[in-house]
Structure 1
Amino acid sequence: MQAGSSWLSSRVTDLELNTGLLADVLQEYRRSNGLSQAELAQLLNFDQSYVSKIETGQRQVRDLEMLLRIAQQLNISPTELGLSKELLQPAPAPATSALVGAVDQVEISQAEWCRVRRRLNRHRGELARAAADLYRPEARIGDVPFIARRNWLPDGPMRIEDLDLEWADDPDPIFITGSEPEASGVLPLRAPACRFERYTSAIRYLDRPALFENRPSYRLLDVAVSGSSASMTFCLGTYFDKLDVSEAIAHELAAARSAGEPADWTRLPLRGLIGDPFDLRARAVMPAIETLTLRRNRSTGEATFPLHWRDPAKVATAAGIYGLIPAGEFQPSSIASWDRANDFDLWRNMVREYSEELLGEPERDGSQGRPLDYAQWPLYRALQNARSEGKVAVYFLGVGLDTLTLTATILTVVVMDDDVFDALFGDAVRINAEGILVTAAESTSVSEGVPFNEESVHRLLTDEPMASPGACILDRAWRFREQILSR
């Protein structure tokens, strides 16, 4: 428990908690979302037996940090668990003399945290390159700050049809959650002598972006690429499980660098606790899917691609830099068990992102209470028909980790003939929920994008603030361009 937790616990002891309320909330949550006890336990990182004991009244939870964590994981208000909103706000220090309160340590701590957070978002590219020096050179992928095991990368572009996704119902527990003593340096004070319990809690109350929701996500457990086939194994987790570690270690590095110190392991205790970055079972690794979308001219064979600038005011991660589009978390459209199975498909996730990021359509979040019918969705159906006609091809280039955050990205390329692209995305929006689409100076419309040529690729890889996953995809796609663009 963090320093000062006794203060929190004493406040909870004074509350008249309805100890049966949590049991009712968990049972109702499972009913409304079609979850079993095992699935809910996996979502909360509990044993199923622990959830069972709570629901049957054999176990009562009075610990404030535990209750707040449950509320955060389920994306519900703490008031639904009987907690007042005042518990989440900084409490004033007791005034015992005229001098007490002259220096507000809570305010100082939070202001410093916000300062480092701003630096992190403004210098992610530079910080990623500094982080790359912490890992063995042979783990690097090209010249970008991106690392991978060699058996995570195919020797060339692989058709996505040759990639198998497997499901694990009973994964090992997560050992590193971002609540360890090693994380205290990146968790600001919430009240005197009491730090925020998780990094995402600090983001929520001190620097909340427009898009910040704790959604269920597919947690990556294993990657295996062999010859012409590949597989990945997943279980269920949540988006905030990922951020609690990934953004915390990025903040830790930004703080060390802002102090003018070199980024060595002695100043990075939380990153050091992780150790082997490729141990996917030690921490929650929820991969994103990032895609290079190539609009291929049927007459010349030349291609262009859309580019995205991620607005720091709108997104919590990879902010203030360029990325490929579409890009998004690999996650079901809702917590419902039917969506977990229905959406467990890379291509379906990618099409949902195309809809949101290029067309500006509302997120298909599964809120209608039934599985998304992909076969009847006009955009999905049109893209599937184009794939069957050979006008759209989808490639898998591997999986890797950003050196700054150690977040995983599934690297993909989609090649579309220009007539298909223009018919579906010719009216692409310039501004979307996450940032702005970028085009070449000579382009007449947003959908024309940036030329896929040596000059553009070189500039983005060397001179522009480019997110490392997108940079890695560009680098590999350019090396494999003849295979990728051949019809």
Structure 2
Amino acid sequence: MSLPLKASARRCRRCGADLAADHESSSCSPCLRTAAAAGRPVPATVPGEFWDASDLRAAFGERHMGHVIRAYRYHPHHVPEYGRRGVPQSMVGDWLGLTQAQVSRIEAGAPPQKLDALIHIARTLRMPSDLLWFQLPEPHSPSTSGAHGARPSPHDDDPRDVEVQGSQQAWRAVRRHLNANRAELAASAADLYGTGSRVETTSLLAPATWLPAQPVALEKVVLRWDREPVEPILDGAAPEGQASRPLRLPGQRFDRYTQAVRYLDSPTLFENRPSYRLTRVHWGDGCGELAFSLSTYFEKLDLCEAIGHEYAQADASGTATGRSLWGRLPLRRAVGDPFDLRIRPMIPAITTLLLRRRNNGEATFLLHWRDPGKVATAGGLYDAIPAGEFQPSSILGPPDGADFDLWRNIVRELNEELLGAPEFDGSASRPLDYDRWPLYRALQRGRDNGTVRAYVFGVACDALTLAVTIPSVLVIDDAVFDELFGDIAPRNAEGVTVTELDGQLTTHGIPFIEQNITQFIRNEPMAPPGAACLALAWKHRALLLNP
């Protein structure tokens, strides 16, 4: 599958973002979701006796909202319109602002316990308050009946909901602006920190102590487990970030940014998973040492996406520019030094540029276009491939076990993004046995005989969100690449593999030449980590391609 570049791409009629060649709509995914959210479909009014069905009564008695939703979907009242299978989970998901998979998990999993989620579901489906096992906030008096004898809705015509809906619609508009303009916003945000901390000419930032003078061979990077990490000063619940979180109820904002994303703008992939938190960085004498403790993916998003949202909101207002924006960025000001590991939890991704090396010393590279409808971060941007969060593959193994390894994380991402395999998402019942995995064994043989080489460029963070990444490069000789990745998956769970350059198919990858490097870094919507990997690989091309 190919994806045209900016020069020949179709554009969203709403925000101007690039559209994939096979994207059927004339609007991009974020704009479609925002438009749908502004006029989100709602369930039709049901008659009062609807709620007296025995299955529904039993579900309410169990105090399990998932069972209530399932009984609601299969109610005989819906058969004439939806058939014997009832209301589809996907439609209920549209009403609730959730995906079909999320609705399925709610129905089949343990009873949901979070009060804000229970209130949201009850109000959306217009459940009578007298059947609920929790209190709705200041419900209407049930003195009047709705149409067709329906019980009154707990939220119809409530003037306080106007404020809540306005807050949420404004939040969605800013999030749409953020997702549609991440590359431009990152370039603008980098100006807040001057030119001294930029990685080459990109919007990735790093102090001198985070970047070794030359790429460090991956086998010379030692990982240490930090058993007594210092608690960060800031987290996603920081009061300075309130302006980035919309109202969920009258007078009450969402506690975390990820809660707002889940209920108001949830992408296809949006799950909290164990992740590694960076606590120490050291480079010297051609080697490096990184220390980590355990954290979660949402702990990263709660702070980083809120920081990006805050900047997008200030930018969209047009009331300040350049360094004068600092006055409108209380959360970013609270962070202060973006490189201080004590201030905030730094939960890095690993961004790896894949170079396919030919016998004559030339090379090609692959890129990934991240579908904004599927991912929570860097949607609508090109990025290096493979790239992913530094996370364990299982929740059962020791956190500092076999998964605590940069190389193994890179191989898992190769498996997912190039071969289209299911992700090792941390939900497996047992740790991954790498020694029994054919792909891992083959790549490890390549490292042993020198046909596969991996290097780390250092550590850096995105100027827009301050999200941390470990930029790296993987060089694979042509013959080994053909053997292991001869049939590249055109799509994966996060987007599209780019195999077309200005309308010309490049089945062996994009030529690794200065013209193409410059094109992506300067002229295309490129994620800062991917842009930095390209720039650093080009800078150190002699070392990488002629070891």
TM-score range, shorter chain: 0.7 to 0.9
Residue aligning to 2:214: 156
Q: CA offsets, 1:72-92, max 9 Å, x none? A: xxx997835585842355767
**Structure-2 change in CA distance of 1:234 and 1:382 (3 Å):** same
1:434 aligned to 2:494?
Answer: yes
1:244 partner SS: helix
Residue aligning to 1:60: none
Distance 2:114 2:389 in 1: 32
Residue aligning to 1:297: 358
Identical columns (%): 50
User: Which of these residues, 167, 175, 181, is aligned with residue 117 of structure 1?
Assistant: 175
Q: CA offsets, 1:40-85, max 9 Å, x none? A: xxxxxxxxxxxxxxxxxxxxxxxxxxxxxxxxxxx99783558584
Residue aligning to 1:266: 327
Distance 2:425 2:188 in 1: 37
User: Which of these residues, 343, 348, 352, is aligned with residue 282 of structure 1?
Assistant: 343
Q: CA deviation at 1:296?
A: 0.7
Q: CA deviation at 1:203?
A: 0.4
Q: CA offsets, 1:223-266, max 9 Å, x none? A: 11112121111000000000000000100000011111225111
User: Which of these residues, 470, 474, 478, is aligned with residue 414 of structure 1?
Assistant: 474
Residue aligning to 2:228: 170
Distance 2:364 2:327 in 1: 45
Moved more, 438-447 or 218-227: 438-447
Q: CA offsets, 1:302-352, max 9 Å, x none? A: 111111110100000011110010000001012223364110000000000
Asked if the contact 1:306–1:447 (Cα under 8 Å) also holds between the matched residues in 2, the reply is no
Gaps of 5+ in 1: 1-74
Asked if the contact 2:274–2:294 (Cα under 8 Å) also holds between the matched residues in 1, the reply is yes
Q: CA deviation at 1:371?
A: 2.2
Asked if the contact 1:93–1:101 (Cα under 8 Å) also holds between the matched residues in 2, the reply is no
Residue aligning to 2:438: 378
Q: CA deviation at 1:161?
A: 0.9
Distance 2:117 2:301 in 1: 23
1:235 aligned to 2:305?
Answer: no
2:376 partner SS: coil
Residue aligning to 1:343: 403
Distance 1:368 1:100 in 2: 45
**Structure-2 change in CA distance of 1:99 and 1:375 (3 Å):** closer
Distance 1:432 1:137 in 2: 36
Q: CA offsets, 1:417-455, max 9 Å, x none? A: 111111111101111110111123489877522111011
1:334 partner SS: coil
**TM-score, structure 2 length as denominator?**
0.72
Residue aligning to 1:23: none
**Structure-2 change in CA distance of 1:338 and 1:229 (3 Å):** same
Tell me the number of residue pairs that the alignment of Structure 1 and Structure 2 aligns. 411
**Structure-2 change in CA distance of 1:283 and 1:215 (3 Å):** same
Amino acid at match of 1:285: M
**Structure-2 change in CA distance of 1:172 and 1:445 (3 Å):** same
Gaps of 5+ in 2: 1-105, 124-135, 142-155
Asked if the contact 2:224–2:291 (Cα under 8 Å) also holds between the matched residues in 1, the reply is yes
Asked if the contact 2:397–2:430 (Cα under 8 Å) also holds between the matched residues in 1, the reply is no
1:398 partner SS: coil
Distance 1:178 1:257 in 2: 21
1:140 aligned to 2:172?
Answer: no
Amino acid at match of 1:465: P
Query: How large is the Cα RMSD of the aligned pairs?
Result: 2.3
**Structure-2 change in CA distance of 1:387 and 1:110 (3 Å):** same
User: Which of these residues, 340, 349, 358, is aligned with residue 418 of structure 2?
Assistant: 358
1:212 aligned to 2:244?
Answer: no
1:245 aligned to 2:303?
Answer: yes
2:200 partner SS: coil
Residue aligning to 2:6: none
**Structure-2 change in CA distance of 1:448 and 1:173 (3 Å):** same
User: Which of these residues, 159, 180, 183, is aligned with residue 101 of structure 1?
Assistant: 159
**TM-score, structure 1 length as denominator?**
0.80
Distance 1:231 1:396 in 2: 11
Q: CA offsets, 1:271-297, max 9 Å, x none? A: 111111011122111100011100111
